[in-house]
Amino acid sequence: MIIATLCGMGFGTSMMLKLFIDDILKAENIKAETTPWDLGSFKGNKADIVVAPVDMEPHLRDYPAKIVLVKNLVDKGEIKEKILRAIDELSHAEGGKTI
């Protein structure tokens, strides 16, 4: 499973998100690859789940992955709940919905 985190440039916000998600996955013993993306170049890339700040939603319409939108990017509780739900739903093979 590939989990991408998205921001404008691929090394600030998206990197913070990636680091939090790495911690969550490790604690939950879930194996997945996490990768930070930037808005300029992500469309050619493939991921199962894309995690992004809530205001980036317009950029992700029609993108073929499960989309997770986060409001508070330093709220580990929000990130954990949403990412685990997305992984769970994906494992039940029902992609394409926004959380």
Partner 1 sequence: MDLYELLVPEAIQAKQELADRTAVIQRAGELLAAAGAIEPGYASAMQRVMDELGPYCVIAPGIALLHARPEDGVLRSCLGLITLKTPVVFGHSTNDPVDLAFALGALDKQSHIRALAQLAEYLSQEGFLCGLREAATTDVLKEFIYSYSRA
Minimum distance from residue 3 beta carbon to partner 1 (Å): 17
H or E stretch at 36: strand 33-38
Exposed (0-12), middle (13-18) or buried (19+): which is 84, by Cβ within 10 Å?
Answer: middle
Q: How many CB atoms within 10 Å of residue 33?
A: 11
Residue closer to partner 1 (CB basis): 54 or 64: 54
Q: Please report, as ranges, the residues that interact with partner 1 according to CB under 8 A.
A: 7-13, 15-16, 19-20, 39, 53-56, 71-76
Task: Name which of 8 and 95 has its Cβ closer to partner 1.
Answer: 8
Instruction: For partner 1, give the closer residue by CB, 19 or 91.
Output: 19
Question: Which residue has tokens 């949403």?
Answer: 82
- Min dist CB 94 to partner 1, Å, is 27
Q: How far is the CB of 74 from partner 1 (least distance, A)?
A: 4
How far is it, in rounded angstroms, from Cα 42 to Cα 45?
5
